[in-house]
């Protein structure tokens, strides 16, 4: 079978609307494999989902597939109807990053009836047996990396503290939150039990520390309350476990306007361009880098394998039970980014240009 290399687009940054999208390296093949792949992404509000969607579209098209890419504005009903349309239009495989893991059972039962394989993208889709595979970054490792970063930054092994810490995680309907928060708490809880870490607000349950839709404004409003209720008397805040960058930004905005104590160590995730100035300035101590090019490429490999009648590559068959059993998964590896290594990890790798980070 003759395959011709049509173009090679090297990791240059491309712009989609106002959002910067680091693109994947794409090799287009002349031969069309045919087939429409439905790609349902949660929202265009956050940088990462634009990157994920656009990168997958470019790579799938380069392999000869047609792509039906939809963003749902973080609205569950919109996502359900987009998936219904994909099924009605005869899409042959669905890649879905859900808004709410528990809300797709009914529509995915239709996918199953129509023998349409489903890959859960980044977020596991819960309580439906229609999910064939899951592709994500190692979410537990994301949380563990954040927790371990705080342990090192506060030198919890060698000092007694006590240090004041607050927690900010994401949308409770996103199954990843259980892994991000769970991974971090597995590391931090022993220090809380020992009394080295103290939580002045007392807010520590998943529901108390949640942020609906992962929205920056929601995290900011909650944190403004925390600062005025527990830190207005000059109490120092030493650390904030923020599960991702959009919520970390809310914390950083609240601190900028309402806090005069020593600046805390703050974690994040995604290396969003909006957070990079704060990371470079040390106002956000770290972010967890999840190279969306890697995940998109892996999912394209999985799609291609399934569409050719084979099995998708997986590297984990233990960790992710969606309520109907273990979903075979491919976990990509996240890495910690700080002011010290961002150039190597983000600029030298072509994810961002130096200019974008000015």
Report the site for ligand BGC in 318-357 (rule: CB under 6 A).
none
298 lies in the binding site for ligand BGC (CB under 6 A)? no
Q: What is the 3-state secondary structure (H, E, C) of 82-111?
A: HHHHHHHCCCCEEEECCCCCCCCHHHHHHH
Cβ atoms 231, 200 nearer than 8 A:
yes
Which residue, 131 or 154, is less far from ligand BGC as judged by CB?
131
Instruction: Write the binding mask 170 to 199 for ligand BGC: x where contact by CB under 6 A, - elsewhere.
Output: x---x-x-----------------------
68 lies in the binding site for ligand BGC (CB under 6 A)? no
Cβ atoms 250, 220 nearer than 8 A:
yes
222 lies in the binding site for ligand BGC (CB under 6 A)? no
Instruction: Write the binding mask 131 to 170 for ligand BGC: x where contact by CB under 6 A, - elsewhere.
Output: ---------------------------------------x
Q: Is 209 left (phi over 0), alpha (psi -120 to 50) or beta?
A: alpha
- Cα distances (angstroms) measured from residue 50 to each of 73, 106, 145, 237: 12, 26, 25, 34
Tokens of 97: 């990053």
Judged by CB under 6 A, the residue of 63, 123, 222, 298 near ligand BGC is 123
Instruction: Write the binding mask 260 to 289 for ligand BGC: x where contact by CB under 6 A, - elsewhere.
Output: ---------xx-------------------
Report, in Å, the least distance between residue 267 CB and ligand BGC.
Answer: 12
Give the C-alpha separation, 8 to 25, whole Å.
Answer: 6
DSSP H or E run through 182 = helix 176-194
Judged by CB under 6 A, the residue of 20, 26, 46, 279 near ligand BGC is 46
Instruction: Indicate if the alpha-carbon torsion angle 51, 293, 29, 8 is positive or negative.
Output: positive
Interaction site with ligand BGC (CB under 6 A): 46, 48, 122-123, 170, 174, 176, 214, 244, 269-270, 290
């Amino acid at each position: 079978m003759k395959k011709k290399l049509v173009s090679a687009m090297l990791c240059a940054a491309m712009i989609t609307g106002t959002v910067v999208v680091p693109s994947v390296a794409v090799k287009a093949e002349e031969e069309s494999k045919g087939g429409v792949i439905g790609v349902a992404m949660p929202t265009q509000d956050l940088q990462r989902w634009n990157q994920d969607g656009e990168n997958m579209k470019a790579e799938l098209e380069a392999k000869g597939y047609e792509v039906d890419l939809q963003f749902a504005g973080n609205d569950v009903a919109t996502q359900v109807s987009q998936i219904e349309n994909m099924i009605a239009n005869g899409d042959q495989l669905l890649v879905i990053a859900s808004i709410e893991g528990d809300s797709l059972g009914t529509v995915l039962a239709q996918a199953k009836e129509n023998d349409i394989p489903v890959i859960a993208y980044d977020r596991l889709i819960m309580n439906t047996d229609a999910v064939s595979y899951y592709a994500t970054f190692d979410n537990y490792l994301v949380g563990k990396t954040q927790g371990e970063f705080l342990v090192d930054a506060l030198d919890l092994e060698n000092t007694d503290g006590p240090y004041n810490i607050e927690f900010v995680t994401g949308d409770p309907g996103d199954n990843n939150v259980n892994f991000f928060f769970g991974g971090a708490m597995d590391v931090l809880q022993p220090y809380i039990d020992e009394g080295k870490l103290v939580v002045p607000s007392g807010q520590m349950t998943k529901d108390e520390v949640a942020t609906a839709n992962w929205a920056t404004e929601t995290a900011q409003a909650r944190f403004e309350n925390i600062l005025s209720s527990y830190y207005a008397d000059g109490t120092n805040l030493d650390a904030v476990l923020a599960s991702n960058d959009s919520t970390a930004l809310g914390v950083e905005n609240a601190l900028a306007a309402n806090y005069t104590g020593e600046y805390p160590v703050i974690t994040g995730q995604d290396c969003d361009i909006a957070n990079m100035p704060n990371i470079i300035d040390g106002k956000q101590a770290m972010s967890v880098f999840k190279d969306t090019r890697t995940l998109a490429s892996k999912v394209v490999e999985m799609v291609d394998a399934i569409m050719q009648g084979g099995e998708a590559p997986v590297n984990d068959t233990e960790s992710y039970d969606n309520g109907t059993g273990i979903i075979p998964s491919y976990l990509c590896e996240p890495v910690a980014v700080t002011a010290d290594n961002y150039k190597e990890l983000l600029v030298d790798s072509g994810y961002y240009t130096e200019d974008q980070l000015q």
